[in-house]
Amino acid sequence: MPFDRVVVVDNGSQDDSVRVATSFDCKVAVCHPARVGAVRNRGVQLSMGDVIAFSDSDHEVGDDWLRRGTELLLSNRGIVAVGAHYLPPENGTWVQKAWAIHRLRGEPHHEVDWLGAGNLFVRREDFLAVGGFREDLTAAEDVDLCHRLRTELNGRIICDDRIRSIHHGEPKTLIAFIRKEYWRGSSGVKAWISQGFPLRDLPSLIWPLWHILGGVVFAIVSIAAIFWTDVTWGAIGAMSFLAWVLPAFLLSVRTCLAERRIASMPALAILYFFYGLARAVALFK
């Protein structure tokens, strides 16, 4: 299948991106300032092909990326989107490698609820039929798009590990991870409400709510322990803290056992816990 063009939409870059893209005969447009949904929609407007393949500036795809994604998408009309979860850089930090265990869990080829827009293939007609990306969301625009593709078109979304994409923009440190998840969670509730409160997405909201509840209880007990310094309040404080962090630890155990990555349990437990905290704070953004 011939590919008509590469479209690069620049959203305020401060490097040589526009010049480099132009030198490779790409179609270049500047869309700044704009939310990510508007930037992606602008790229689709400038494209001409029947299949739209999305990637981001901090992604590195393989030589067979276009072929594999296009072939899988067109193999079955019931498939409305394909792609794969992002791979971490080969020399990634402990944060990048541990979170990849969570992101890459499951079979190499399986149906999913959504895929990130940094590695996503859709038919042009399907994309336009559901109205493209929402432009009012700060983040989670890909989750929302995939939800509408599944429900409005009654289609399937397939994750296939052979459609490889390395994400060099994955957070390298714990602080960067917290900031990124706070940003990602900033539109979570808004998207969930607009989608009609789907029950399948409820666990992703319960997780941060648990962190709010656990944090409040631990704070109250800690304040009480300061004023009434006795063994009882200290024991209650320790128990409330353990109850607060226990779900993150148990989830890490389940994931690492399933993926046979036992040594990564502590690192993944830390990330699960701070993921919940970041998403909890994002509920109030």
* Sequence-separated (6 or more) residues with CB below 8 Å from residue 177: 95, 99, 171, 271, 274, 275, 278
Flag whether 186 is in a domain: no
Asked if 162 and 81 sit in the same domain, the reply is yes
Query: What is the Cα–Cα distance from 257 to 238, expressed in whole angstroms?
Result: 27
Average confidence (pLDDT) over 1-16? 78
Asked if 154 and 219 sit in the same domain, the reply is no
Flag whether 54 is in a domain: yes
Structural domain that includes position 94: 7-172
Asked if 94 and 38 sit in the same domain, the reply is yes
Average confidence (pLDDT) over 128-144? 93
CA 116 from centroid of its chain's CA atoms = 6
Phi, psi of 158 (to 5 degrees): -115, 130
User: Which pLDDT score, from 0 to 100, does residue 258 have?
Assistant: 94
Flag whether 31 is in a domain: yes
Q: Whole-prediction pTM value? A: 0.85
Query: Does residue 186 carry a pLDDT above 80?
Result: no
Element (H, E) at 100: helix 94-103
Domain total in the chain = 2
Mean pLDDT of the residues in the chain: 89
The DSSP result for 49-102, as a single string, is SSEEEEE-TTEEE-TTHHHHHHHHHTT-TTEEEEE-PPBPPTT--HHHHHHHHH
CB 159 within 8 A of CB 84: yes
Identity (one letter) of the amino acid at 83?
A: G
Flag whether 180 is in a domain: no
- Cα separations (Å) of 284 from 193, 211, 259? 15, 13, 34
Average confidence (pLDDT) over 213-223? 80
Tokens of 14: 């401060």
- In terms of DSSP bridges, do strands 27-30 and 7-10 run parallel, antiparallel, or are they unpaired? parallel
Flag whether 131 is in a domain: yes
Tokens of 44: 């689709």
Identity (one letter) of the amino acid at 260?
A: R
Confidence bin at 67 (pLDDT 50/70/90) = very high
Residue 202 CB neighbour total at 10 angstroms: 11
Summarised one tens digit per residue, pLDDT across range 240-284 is 888 889 999 999 999 999 999 999 999 999 999 999 999 888 887
What is the domain-level CATH number for residue 12? 3.90.550.60
